[in-house]
Structure 1
């Protein structure tokens, strides 16, 4: 389960972004078992030791879901866009209906299955 600071971050968001973030916490907790969400550089991130795996950041009109190795996985949906440095990919989510739980769960599994870089 995500840590208290993550819960505080999510609770501070206005609807509908709060609902998006709450659902993402559930999906990330389930898809990244054994890794807790922590606050890292001001937003929730699920870490593998000291290595970030996935996280999200809320903006005024959407929440950006980030996968640090997202450019290394196949994305048949075309929703993931390369962003930031290294191999990060992200997607913007404005409402709970935009989430696509099965898709995100598949991405998390694919990232988990990657050989070490």
Structure 2
């Protein structure tokens, strides 16, 4: 665990620390290529500079948010209220986490992405990333 994430988690209740440590472990195991940083005061994982998943302490519990989760077609993930494609779930105890379900969502987060990284450059217009094309460009085919 990075020192910045450790600092974030240490400020939570014991139950929330356990929950966040479990989320962090599952995320790291399933998004090995992702970069981590504290972004807007919350832990967030990025792929190629694009935010993928993160969590934050809110009144309703620990909110696990997927930036492109609205397109995952997952009943338990509740869509955000704005113009973005985020979806999230709230947890209040670590035993509420279904690890297989979370692994499925994390797998989808690798393959279904909206381009938040270039949102400002596009003057607020959100576009879906064509990962097939992106993968072709990265492999030189």
Report the TM-score when normalising by structure 2: 0.74
- Give runs of aligned pairs for residues 1-117 of structure 1, distance below 5 A: 2-60=1-59, 62-75=61-74, 78-83=75-80, 84-114=82-112, 116=129
Give the Cα separation in 1 of the matches to 2:112 and 2:50: 14
Deviation of 1:3 after TM superposition, in Å, equals: 2.7
Flag the 1:56–1:73 CA change in 2: closer, same or farther, 3 A: same
Q: Bigger relative contact order, structure 1 or 2, given CA contacts below 8 A and separation 6+? A: 1
Unpaired runs of 5+ in structure 2? 114-128, 131-141
Report the TM-score when normalising by structure 1: 0.88
Deviates more, 1:13-22 or 1:30-39: 30-39
Paired positions, count? 114
Give the Cα separation in 2 of the matches to 1:18 and 1:4: 14
Residue 24 of structure 2 aligns to a residue in which SS? helix
Give the Cα separation in 2 of the matches to 1:110 and 1:92: 19
Deviates more, 1:57-66 or 1:88-97: 57-66
Q: CA RMSD for the aligned pairs? A: 1.6
Which has the greater radius of gyration?
2
Unpaired runs of 5+ in structure 1? none
